[in-house]
Amino acid sequence: VHELVEHVKRKKKKGIYQEYEEIRKEPPSGTFDYSKKLSNQIKNRYSDVLCLDQSRVRLCQLCDDDDETSDYINASFMDGYKRSNAYIATQGPLPKTFVDFWRMVWEQMVLIIVMTTRVVERGRVKCGQYWPLEEGRTEQHGYFLVRNTHIQVFQDFKLSHLELYNTQTGERREVCHYLYVSWPDFGVPKSASAMLDFREHVLQRQEAAVQSLDPSWTGPPGGPPVVVHCSAGIGRTGTFCTLDICLSRLEDIGTVDVRQTVRRMRTQRAFSIQTWDQYYFCYMAVIEYAQRHGKLTILPISKPPFI
């Protein structure tokens, strides 16, 4: 098995590189009109990372508000494996958009937030501190009170149990906040195993949370979308979601199609997966997963499009 993997790494690296370059050359499949509106520009963390109109998450229009741009947040719905809108991919919230972010979480009934960046990396701010960092602390964002009730620390990530209190309706909800801390500032993790463990944890948590969903939930059986964000919401976010989709498919039917997964994702969140090594990492992580679960034999590795 080891030999096989080495073979794949050596021989196919170039092919995977070319495959990624081709994907990158494809023009975005839609317009970015809402992201570009003058009054929305300040809500984008990066002026070159905009969200497609067709898949953007719209905030509910506030009733006392007739500003038509007030429904904008730099966030996109993305499909998962056999699940539409399994994720919301978004940028790291800006102080100006903290309230919008929490509104989105509330309105979409989000149970899990996955954060794959740290707040500051190499001295640069990558994301605002939009949730209370310490146990027992409560912060107010618009008409929401966000309380950090309990923190669990794991080797590669931190799980904060948050309570969201809507002061307008008097309702309370629990939201799990995962902070993945082991992604290196540049590039990709050396080994995928920490990432695989992390995904497993998130998956189980989402399943458990869906089990205990309010009976008023009328959405899809997979539950509300999982919010995934990094700094821009395209590089690491795209990598995490691609991996999740590929592994779900592998578990289900025993095949993987990284290329199509990323192409499709890009029609919903433009520019998903930012660097070729993030793309390559998806392949390597799938192999690591397959080895771990003894599933390598069912991968059609000799045939394109898988490697």
Binding interface with ligand PTR (CB under 6 A): 46, 48-49, 117, 126, 185-186, 230-237, 274
Least separation in angstroms between residue 232's CB and ligand PTR is 3
- Number of neighbouring beta carbons within 10 Å of residue 128: 17
Q: Give the helix ranges, DSSP H, for 114-255.
A: 193-211, 235-253
Closest contact distance (angstroms) between CB of 101 and ligand PTR is 15
Closest distance between ligand PTR and the C-beta of residue 235, in Å?
3
- Residue showing tokens 């990396």: 121
Tokens 């899990």, residue?
112
Yes or no: say if 94 and 128 are a contact pair by the CB < 8 Å rule.
Answer: yes
223/235 with CB nearer ligand PTR: 235
Judged by beta carbon, residue 237 or residue 242, the one nearer ligand PTR is 237
Q: Which is nearer to ligand PTR, 125 or 298 (CB)?
A: 125
51 catalytic, yes or no? no
CB of 246 to ligand PTR, least distance (A): 18
Cβ partners under 8 Å of residue 161, min gap 6: 148, 149, 150, 151, 152, 174, 176, 177
Instruction: Give the other-Cβ count within 10 Å of 54's Cβ.
Output: 12
- Token digits for 68? 């038509």
Residue type at 64? D
Kindly tell me which of 164 and 234 has the beta carbon lying closer to ligand PTR: 234
Q: Which residue is nearest to ligand PTR (CB)?
A: 235
**Could you give the CA distance from residue 97 to residue 42 in angstroms, rounded to a whole number?**
9
The active-site residue, picked from 51, 176, 230, 246, is 230
DSSP 54: G
Which residues participate in catalysis according to the annotation?
A: 230
